[in-house]
Amino acid sequence: MMDIDVTIVLVALATTCTIVMIGLGFLPYPSRASVIWSAGFATVMVCSYLLVAADATGTSILRAIAHGPTLCAIGFLWVGLRARRGRDDVHLFPTIGVFSVLTIALALTAETDWYGIVLRLAFAVGGVASALVASELLRIKKPLREMTTPLIVAALGFAVLSAVLLLDGISRVAQGTWEQGEVDMLALRTLNELAASLYLVCALVTVLALTRAGDTPATTHQITDFRLIATDRLGRAKAAGDRWWSLLDVRLDDPVELLEASSARAFDRVTSRFTDDIRAVMPPEADIHIVSPTRHVILVPRSDTSVRALMSQLLEKVATVTDTQAVPVRLSASIGVAAAPIADYDLDRLSEAAAQAASHAQLAGGDRWERAIFAE
C-alpha cells in the first residue's frame, strides 16, 4: 500500500508541475529551452500514469517501460540548459536515442534475471545526465546562480544515488547474486519514486525561475543604460534648441496569432528577424531599446521628413516575404512616433505618447505608422 501511495503522489506532482511549467513558463515565455523543459515534465507525467496502470494490472513490462522515459526527462533538463546557453548542438536527438534504447532493453529484460543489471545501467546513464545538469547550472553567473541551487542539489543527489545503485550491482556480480527480475526490484520502487518526486519539485523551481527571470538582470541593465543615454541626449538637445529628435515605438503586429500558428523556435526566428530589420534600417546614431522581442523603442536624431522615410522603409522591410523566413506569412508592424518638442523633451511623456500612437496604429489594422498628438 505504501508503494501505491508514493506512486499517486508522484502522479499528482508530475501533473501539477507540467501544468505550472506550461502555463507559467512556456506559454508566456516561449523559447527553445522552455519547450524542451515542458516536454520533460510532460514525459514524467505520462510515465507516472503508466506506473499507476502497471500497479492496477500487475504488469512488470509496463512498469519497466515507464522508467526509461522518466530518466530521459533528466536528459531533457540538460538539453534545455544547453539551449538556453545558446548552443546549436544541444544533442536532443542523441539523448532521446540513448534513453529509447535503454527503455527497450528494460522492457525486454523485465521478466528475466538481467533486469537488475539493465536497470542499474539505465540509472547510471541517468546519473551521468544529472551530473551534466549540475555542470551546466554551475556555468550560470550571479545573480541567477541562487535560482539554480535547488536543482543543483537534486541533480548531484541523484548522481550519487545512481552511483550507489551501480556499485551495489557490481558487488552483486562479484558475489554471484546479480540475477534480479523486475519483481525482485520492487523494494527500491518507493525510494526511486520518492527521489523522482523531490527531483520534480526542485527542477520546477529552478527551470521556471530561469524561464521567467533568466534575462531580467540583462534587461534591467539595458533599460537603465537606455534611459540614462536617452535622457542625456534629450536634455542636451533641448539646451541646444535642436528640434529634430523623435521617439519611435515599433511593434510587431499579431504576435499571439503568430506564436499559435508556429513553433516556439520559428517564433524566435521571426522576432530575431524583426530586430535585425530594425537595426538594418535605423541609422547608426539611433538608440534602440528592446522592450520585448516584439516591441522596440528607438530614439532617432532626424528631421520629420527623414523619420517618415525611415518608418516607411522599415514597414516595407518587415513586410517583405522571403524564402527562408520561419513563418510563411506576410509580417507587419505598427509604429508610433512622437517628436521631442511636443513633450518638452521629457522621456517619460515621449514614451507614453509614442506608445499610445503605436496602439492606435495597431487598432487601425496595423502595417502603418501614426504620429502622437500630445495633449497638455
The model's pLDDT over 100-137, given as tens digits with 9 standing for 90+, comes to 999 999 999 888 888 888 889 999 999 999 999 999 99
- The residue behind cell 501539477 is 16
Asked if 109 and 122 sit in the same domain, the reply is yes
- Last-in-domain residue among 213, 240, 268: 213
* Within-domain flag for 144: yes
- How many whole angstroms separate alpha carbon 357 and alpha carbon 342? 13
Asked if 204 and 234 sit in the same domain, the reply is no
Residue closest to 196 by CA, chosen among 43, 10, 31: 10
Alpha-carbon distances of 341 from 18, 239, 344, rounded to whole Å: 51, 12, 5
* Within-domain flag for 64: yes
Which of residues 36 and 30 earns the better pLDDT score? 36
Domain count, the chain: 2
* Within-domain flag for 148: yes
Asked if 206 and 267 sit in the same domain, the reply is no
The reported pLDDT for the residue numbered 140 is: 83
The reported pLDDT for the residue numbered 352 is: 92
* Within-domain flag for 256: yes
Residue 13 belongs to domain with CATH number = 1.20.1070.10
Reported confidence tier of residue 326, pLDDT bands at 50, 70, 90? low
- How many whole angstroms separate alpha carbon 74 and alpha carbon 294? 32
Asked if 42 and 179 sit in the same domain, the reply is yes
How would you class 129 by CB atoms within 10 Å of its CB: exposed for 0-12, middle for 13-18, buried for 19 or more? buried
Mean pLDDT across the chain: 86
Asked if 123 and 246 sit in the same domain, the reply is no
Quick one: angle between helices 304-319 and 264-281, nearest 10? 150
- pLDDT score of 2 more than 60: no
- pLDDT score of 217 more than 60: no
Share of the chain above pLDDT 90, in %: 50
The reported pLDDT for the residue numbered 191 is: 78
Asked if 153 and 291 sit in the same domain, the reply is no
Q: Which three cell numbers stand for residue 4?
A: 501505491
Reported confidence tier of residue 299, pLDDT bands at 50, 70, 90? very high
- 158-206 tens-digit pLDDT: 999 999 888 988 887 787 776 765 665 666 777 788 889 999 999 999 9
Asked if 228 and 207 sit in the same domain, the reply is no
- How many whole angstroms separate alpha carbon 236 and alpha carbon 253? 34
Residue 263 belongs to domain with CATH number = 3.30.70.270
- How many whole angstroms separate alpha carbon 254 and alpha carbon 137? 35
- pLDDT score of 359 more than 60: yes
- Last-in-domain residue among 155, 184, 213: 213
- Last-in-domain residue among 181, 213, 245: 213
Asked if 260 and 205 sit in the same domain, the reply is no
* Within-domain flag for 376: no
For residue 71, the enclosing domain spans 2-213
- How many whole angstroms separate alpha carbon 160 and alpha carbon 248? 55
* Within-domain flag for 223: yes
Asked if 147 and 289 sit in the same domain, the reply is no
- pLDDT score of 328 more than 90: no
Asked if 204 and 232 sit in the same domain, the reply is no
| Mean pLDDT to the nearest integer, 30-42 | 91
Asked if 259 and 350 sit in the same domain, the reply is yes
Asked if 238 and 202 sit in the same domain, the reply is no
* Within-domain flag for 129: yes
Reported confidence tier of residue 297, pLDDT bands at 50, 70, 90? very high
| Mean pLDDT to the nearest integer, 255-278 | 82
Are 245 and 301 a contacting pair, CB within 8 Å? yes
Residue closest to 82 by CA, chosen among 94, 97, 66, 68: 94
Alpha-carbon distances of 162 from 114, 115, 155, 303, 306, rounded to whole Å: 18, 16, 11, 67, 65
- pLDDT score of 261 more than 80: no
